[in-house]
Amino acid sequence: MDRTVGLLGGGQLGQMLCEAANPLGVKVVILDAENSPAKQVNAKASHITGSFTDPEKIRELARQCDILTVEIEHVDTHVLEEIAEEGIEIQSADGKTTRKKVQVQPNWKTLRTIQDKFLQKEHLAKHGVETAVSQAVESDKSGLERVGKELGFPFMLKARKDAYDGRGNFPVMSAQDIPDALEALKGRGLYAEKWASFKMELAVMVVKTSDNTLAYPAVETIHQDSICKLVYCPPRGISTHLQEKAQDLARKAVGSMWGNGVFGVELFVMENDTIILNEIAPRPHNSGHYTIEACPTMSQYKSQLLSILDIMPSFPGNKIPSLSPATVMLNILGGASKTSHNALVQSAVATPSAALHMYGKESKPARKIGHITLVAQTMAEAEKAMNPMIALADEMRM
Ligand code: ATP
Ligand code: MG
Ligand code: MG
């Protein structure tokens, strides 16, 4: 593989991407802070120290690679547009200035549309994908009171940009919460979403190639305080038909985007079994970590690489199967002290069917610092083995 990939962001998703790139012989150059998790596992290239929001650093990265991709959507898309459309200036050995073509995958239009959650929802509505009813809001008391009347209480107030792990969401239970909501999300562009009384949350990883989309299995996700805690594959207690509907909707949503790559699609299953879309991530996703063990020859990270390199193989029925009958993934979040997670880590190591992934990040309360994936022959067996670890995770929660 002679093409070099440039990666904006070097967190745990970038780390697992590099782990998938190594056996493929793909060189990945990373732009992020010194010693970020992805850099810790990748000595193949000399990396760039800086921020993935800094246009000059992004240009420096572009000069060293053939394809740019992301592990986070909160990047500067204007400089990515410039690089994709005009190329990047480079100095040749004889001092001449030339322009080099660099691809941006997925396309900057996809990143720009998705990174603003309200724009994303408008785009999806236009393409016939149902989401929670969303509306623009005036960020003041009377504006939100009007939203309360129109959407009803509770509603979810959301920051349009820079949201992750629920940091950007405020559930407005009644008109009394409005001042607190405005204070919590002060200074950020906002929109409001009708409350979705879902009975289950699902997620589907989708790979977009230049002429197709491929779906991984639907998984059940469990969030606590808006942070993903657990993933179950297959989802518990919903029909195969509904799982296929989720895969079809996720493929349709990703099919409306531009460029190649892997996407995480978050969905709500409503009481009447209709499925609506929550949001899309244009990159590997927490709900797809399980694919490292459950799809050992085609993890979500390998798929991101093969799709952006445009060498993704095809799969029967456009579905990438799980090779594990039952899989459960548990996130490890930092606890009150730097060592709170030790008992959980020891328990994972002592469980032969569990795979431990620690990211090399400093532990801070509620920060994602690792995860555990457990594979089994049946879901009952998987739950039995995972439940003691869930209990340990609950004990260390802040
Ligand atoms: P992520 O880390 O997935 O990017 P985020 O900060 O972008 O998270 P969302 O995905 O918008 O946040 O919401 C986080 C969680 O909050 C959802 O998974 C769901 O549990 C809950 N949630 C979001 N929107 C709604 C809604 N309209 N009604 C009810 N619950 C919601
Ligand atoms: Mg999000
Ligand atoms: Mg989300």
Q: What is the pLDDT of residues 255-300, one digit of tens each?
A: 999 999 999 999 999 999 999 999 999 999 999 999 999 999 999 9
* Span 167-176, average pLDDT: 95
State if residue 256 touches ligand 1 by the CB under 6 angstroms criterion: no
Question: Residue type at 318?
Answer: N
Ligand 1 atom with the smallest distance to the CA of 264 is 3
Ligand 3 (ion): residues with CB under 5 Å are: 266, 279
Cα 385 to ligand 3 centroid, rounded to whole Å: 27
Cα 99 to ligand 2 centroid, rounded to whole Å: 35
State if residue 154 touches ligand 1 by the CB under 6 angstroms criterion: no
Which two three-digit tokens encode residue 260? 């190649």
Compute the 3-state secondary structure of the chain and give helix, strand, coil in percent, each to the nearest 5. 35, 30, 35
Using DSSP's 3-state secondary structure scheme, residue 46 falls into coil
Residue nearest to ligand 1 atom 9, measured at CA: 166
Determine the pLDDT at residue 1: 77
Question: Within the chain, what is the greatest distance between any pair of CA atoms?
Answer: 68
Q: What are phi and psi of 109, to 5 degrees?
A: -65, -40
Buried b (16+ CB within 10 A) or exposed e, 126-159: eeebebbbbeebebeeebbeebbeebeeebbbbb
Q: How far from the centroid of its chain's Cα atoms is residue 180's Cα?
A: 28
Q: Read off the pTM.
A: 0.97
Is residue 398 pLDDT above 70, yes or no?
A: no
* Span 202-223, average pLDDT: 98
Tens digits of residue pLDDT in 45-79 = 999 999 999 999 999 999 999 999 999 999 999 99
> Going by C-beta distance under 8 Å and a sequence separation of 6 or more, which residues neighbour residue 295?
216, 320, 321, 322, 323
Is residue 381 pLDDT above 80, yes or no?
A: yes
Q: Which of 117, 153, 199, 279 to mutate to test the pocket of ligand 1 (most atoms within 8 A of CB)?
A: 279
Ligand closest to 221 (CA) is 1
Is residue 43 pLDDT above 80, yes or no?
A: yes
Residue nearest to ligand 1 atom 30, measured at CA: 196
Cα angle 6, 292, 376; round to 5: 170
Side-chain half-sphere exposure of 64, counting CA atoms within 13 A? 17
